[in-house]
Amino acid sequence: MANFLIVEARFYDHLNDLLLDGARSAIEAAGHTHETITVPGALEVPGAIALAADSGQYSAFVALGVVIRGETYHFEIVAGESARGLMALSMDGLAIGNGILTTEDEAQALTRARKTEKDKGGEAAKAAIAMLELKGRFG
């Protein structure tokens, strides 16, 4: 049994609740435990994971959040840099599932967040579980 940390950038409460439900269900179905922390935004998720990884308390991580395109370039920065940060941590050997949604509008986010549809929170948790298993195989 492994302990997972879910790091959520909570901005759209109703969307995050859906993502969290999917992630928690997938982790529990696999027989693991989890804790959840909240950070101000998607850009802070990689930093929080890096800090938590240093604690040694967690075997794997699930990043959750929603970034919806607005009228400015900010969307591209947040989407790209949060993904880059998570990828860098993955390349350093952390088992991470990326469930930060980057969508054009709320309707797309709802479709991706709902467990009855795309269940991206659950998929991110399953990706973290798979990466943890790979880490165990090669580590």
Q: Output the known binding site.
A: 11, 42-44, 66-68, 71-72, 98, 112
Q: How far is CA 99 from the centre of its chain?
A: 4
Catalytic residue numbers read: 74
Token pair, residue 65, equals: 């959040």
What is the C-alpha separation between 68 and 134, in angstroms, rounded?
Answer: 32
What is the C-alpha separation between 20 and 114, in angstroms, rounded?
Answer: 10
Question: Which residues are documented as binding site for (2S)-2-hydroxy-3-oxobutyl phosphate?
Answer: 71-72, 112
- Residue closest to 63 by CA, chosen among 29, 27, 23: 23
Determine the 3-state secondary structure of 60 from DSSP: strand
Q: Which residues pair with 102 in a beta bridge?
A: 67
Question: Which residues are documented as binding site for 5-amino-6-(D-ribitylamino)uracil?
Answer: 11, 42-44, 66-68, 98
